[in-house]
Chains A and B, each alone.
Chain A
Amino acid sequence: MKGYSTFSLIRNALSGHRFWKPVWRTPDLKKSYDVVIIGAGGHGLATAYYLARKHSLRNIAVLDKGDIGGGNTGRNTQITRSNYYWPQSAAFFDHSLQLYEHLSQELNFNVMLSQRGILNLAHSLHELEGIRRWANAIRINDIDAEFLTPGEVKKLVPLINLDCRFPVRGGFIQRRGGISRHDAVAWGYARAASACGVDIIQQCEVTGINIQSGRVTGVNTTRGTIGADRISIAVAGHTSHLAKMAGFRVPVTSMQLQAMVSEPIKPCLNTVVTSSVIHMYVSQSDRGELVFGGGADVYNSYAQRGGIPLLQENVAALVELLPAFSRLRVMRQWAGIVDITPDTTPIMGQTPVQNLYISGGWGTGGYKAIPAGGDTMAYTIANDQPHPLIEDFGLERFVTGALVDEGAASGVAH
């Protein structure tokens, strides 16, 4: 892999950009692999990269029915944060944030991480108490959280309407939180994994998982049967679908989560604003567009469109809290299919089938978990035992009852 540098930029500019090489290889499909990862989104690609980089496995394929990062990796709102309530989640998501902080150097690919802070608002005295408890829990987990008065909120976000339908009583900010560029995360991992010898096979849909005496032997795909010693599922939105192929059920509901962007405007919002009562979050991208969204559509769906009632709710919440944005036009609206678990904690680790691993149930927050998800799943696949950070995230918790209930504790209620 030729590294990117200032020098390479200048050299390629002077030669009219005619000599850039493809960022990843387009290899032929082999008959069999040591590890087959289903899903070439952020999690699948990151898992392949860390397997090759940290665990010296080279004979790896990442299969995708569409294109690299074309599912939820390209549909999320790019937020990274680790302001979780329970110690298990906090440790996992802060590991992810720490990996994000060095990801551009690690991958030699600019993921444009901007740690502009993520602000959570409280709109009543009761919520203020709740948010204080949440922020203190974060600090006990050794993660940064800073309490803000309404005056300090106004100073940080001058356009905010403190006296809206649900008046702003205060909030807290995690200053290390922020946004990054989601496509770059997928492309960066793809490029680095490909350079380590990982075969990335696009337009190759898995149609069946082959199992003999309780152990995986390979997958059937639209491009033929492939042998595999180990298989990992990383298919945001379609986890139930793939689990069914392997003959087990998962506690997952697939729903549509919408997001939308406005036309681009000059810089006016330099942090991520979220509110669980008004139910919206918004940030301004480097292109100047406002990126915003809210809750998920209420019913099971695989449609990737999003319904009008939720869209209206999101827009109404935005213009109530930030009235200056009421004259903007919405440029694009879309939805991704999110896998919601009963405790809104992901499902990671082993499955009832030997040598079949799963990383799913990411709900509305899989993007921020990509580096840690890849790192810990690579460890889990290489050693056939869960990484210490994800020991509590396994499927067995639904039988033992040891749920990690982040439902009320994450960024926006869902």
Chain B
Amino acid sequence: MLRLKCPWCGTRDELEYSYGGESHVTRPGLDASDVEWSDYLFNKENPKGIHYEQWLHKYGCGRWFNVARDTVTHEIYAVYEMGQAKPDIAMTDRD
């Protein structure tokens, strides 16, 4: 069971959240080629290690936020708001 700390509601069980996949994916311009568009639409980082991902506090405040989580240990390194830049994990306090 993951325990995620919603930036607005505090720590809750995984069951209250729904998962939104990879974060920081930027939509290419309208002049993008088919290859660029396909890369944006389908290809994933899918790292074995730190994954920057989106979560929705579905059965809570209903707001989205970002999480930096290790996909092997499931350790959560950072929780930060949408629109914020990727945190530098080495510099981040792991509380």
Q: Which residues of A contact B (CB under 8 A)?
A: 238, 240-241, 249-254, 298-303, 307-309, 342, 398-400
Contacts and interface: CB of A to CB of B under 8 A. Distances in A.
B44 A251 contact: yes
Interface of B: 1-2, 14-15, 18-19, 21-22, 34-35, 38-39, 41-48, 51, 53, 69, 71-74
B34 A299 contact: no
Per CB-CB distance, the 4 closest pairs between chain A and chain B, nearest first, are A251-B42, A240-B46, A249-B43, A399-B38
B38 A398 contact: yes
Contact of B53 (A249, A300, A309): A300
Given A301-B71, A303-B73, A399-B35, A253 B46 contact: yes
Contact of B1 (A251, A252, A307, A399): A307
A65 B69 CA distance: 25
Contacts of B38: 398-399
Given A303-B71, A399-B34, A241 B48 contact: yes
A271 B71 CA distance: 36
Contacts of B69: 299
A241 B1 CA distance: 25
A254 B15 contact: no
- Name, among B48, B72, B73, the residue most crowded by chain A CB atoms within 10 Å (CB to CB): B48
A299 B53 contact: yes
Contact of B42 (A240, A298, A299, A398): A398
B71 A253 contact: no
Given A299-B53, A307-B2, A240 B44 contact: yes
A308 B15 CA distance: 10
A400 to B, nearest CB: 8
22 contacts: A240-B45, A240-B46, A240-B48, A249-B39, A249-B45, A250-B46, A252-B44, A252-B46, A254-B46, A254-B48, A254-B71, A298-B18, A299-B19, A299-B53, A301-B74, A302-B71, A303-B72, A307-B2, A308-B1, A309-B14, A309-B15, A399-B38
A253 B44 contact: yes
Contacts of B48: 238, 240-241, 254, 302
Contacts of A249: 39, 43-45
A250 B43 contact: yes
Nearest to A250: B43
Nearest to A249: B43
A303 to B, nearest CB: 6
Contacts of A309: 1, 14-15
A307 B71 CA distance: 13
Contacts of B46: 240, 250, 252-254, 300
A211 to B, nearest CB: 19
A190 to B, nearest CB: 26
A238 B18 CA distance: 24
Contacts of B14: 307, 309
Contacts of B51: 300
Given A240-B46, A250-B43, A251-B43, A302 B72 contact: yes
A253 B34 contact: no
Contacts of A254: 46, 48, 71
Contacts of B42: 251, 342, 398
Contacts of B72: 301-303
Nearest to A396: B38
Contacts of B1: 307-309
Contacts of B34: 399-400
Contacts of B39: 249
Nearest to A248: B43
A19 B34 CA distance: 61
A299 B69 CA distance: 10
Given A240-B46, A300-B46, 17 more contacts: A240-B45, A240-B48, A249-B39, A250-B44, A251-B43, A253-B21, A299-B2, A300-B21, A300-B22, A300-B51, A300-B71, A301-B72, A307-B2, A398-B38, A398-B43, A399-B34, A399-B35
